[in-house]
Amino acid sequence: MELVRVVQGDITKLEVDAIVNAANEQMLGGSGVDGAIHGAAGPQLREACEQVEQWRPGVRCPTGEARITPGFNLPSKWVIHTVGPIWHGGGYGESNYLANCYRNCLQLAVEHDVRSLAFPAISCGVYGFPANRAAMIAHREIASFTMVEDFFDEILLVAFDEAMCRVLQSATASV
24 binds ligand APR (CB under 6 A): yes
How many residues of this chain bind ligand APR (CB under 6 A)?
Answer: 25
Q: Phi/psi class of residue 144: alpha, beta or left (left: φ > 0; alpha: ψ in -120 to 50)?
A: alpha
22 binds ligand APR (CB under 6 A): yes
* CB-nearer residue toward ligand APR: 42 or 113: 42
105 binds ligand APR (CB under 6 A): no
* CB-nearer residue toward ligand APR: 7 or 151: 7
34 assigned to active site: yes
* CB-nearer residue toward ligand APR: 18 or 23: 23
**Looking only at residues 117 through 146 of this chain, which bind ligand APR when binding is defined by CB under 6 A?**
120-127
Q: What is the 3-state secondary structure (H, E, C) of 72-87?
A: CCCCCCEEEEECCCCC
Among 4, 16, 20, 23, binds ligand APR (CB under 6 A): 23
Separation between Cα atoms, residue 46 and residue 27, nearest integer Å: 8
Alpha helices by DSSP H, listed for 68-154, are 94-111, 131-148
| 137 and 174 Cβ atoms separated by less than 8 Å | no
Separation between Cα atoms, residue 157 and residue 54, nearest integer Å: 29
- Annotated catalytic residues are 34
Contacts to ligand APR by CB under 6 A: 10-12, 22-24, 30-36, 84, 120-127, 158, 160, 164
